[in-house]
Amino acid sequence: MNTIDVPAGTEPLRVLAISGSLRADSVNSALLRAAGALGGAAVKLELWDGLAAVPPFSEDDEAEPGAGVSAMLAAFAGADALLFATPEYNRSLPGQLKNALDWASRPYGRSVLTGKAAAVIGASPGNFGGRRAHADLTKVLKACGARVVGDELCVAQAHTALGEDGLPVGEELRTALTGLLAALGEAVRTAGTE
């Protein structure tokens, strides 16, 4: 199995994995778990499950956003990097994920997303792998100030691309996932040198 190496004297990369799907059987959540397994000792990946607890964004509630938003902001802030996996709903990203990013983008220029290394992947049972949602999510993250790294990684025919063990069946997808995690690690290590 492909994994990435831990550079000598380096702590594992703390990656918060955010699935845009609320479904228990989500192929996007499965893809995030696969990324964590492929990261090996170099990556400490935590799958965040608080998306359903984030209420609709309102500027009126910014001073006291509530427990769901506060927990999300703390989780985002505590991670070295963020890894998003999004399904495609009506040719774009799910509303609940966009809503969470609206919360996370505040205050503008000083939010938990400003300068944060992030990457986007997506999976779909269809033939396009959620490409439009991937593009829209990338655009939103960049608008929020995140440093989006890596190439497009959209997994089509996800139910056959991932095996019964949850790991990618094909070597190309395994390599792409480990490469993306390595790119996140490099972005975190070089953040202060740019």
Q: What is the pLDDT of residues 76-91, one digit of tens each?
A: 999 999 999 999 999 9
Which pair of structure tokens corresponds to residue 133?
């949602």
Q: CA-CA distance, 22 to 29, in Å (whole number)?
A: 9
Say which residues have a Cβ less than 8 Å from residue 82's Cβ, sequence separation at least 6. 15, 16, 17, 18, 76, 116, 117, 118, 119, 146
pLDDT per residue over 123-152, tens digit each?
Answer: 998 888 899 999 999 999 999 999 999 988
Residue of 194, 93, 100, 106 whose CA lies nearest to 147:
194
Q: What is the pTM of this model?
A: 0.93
Q: Which helix (H) or strand (E) holds 93?
A: none
Which pair of structure tokens corresponds to residue 77?
């802030």
The CATH code belonging to domain 13-189 is 3.40.50.360
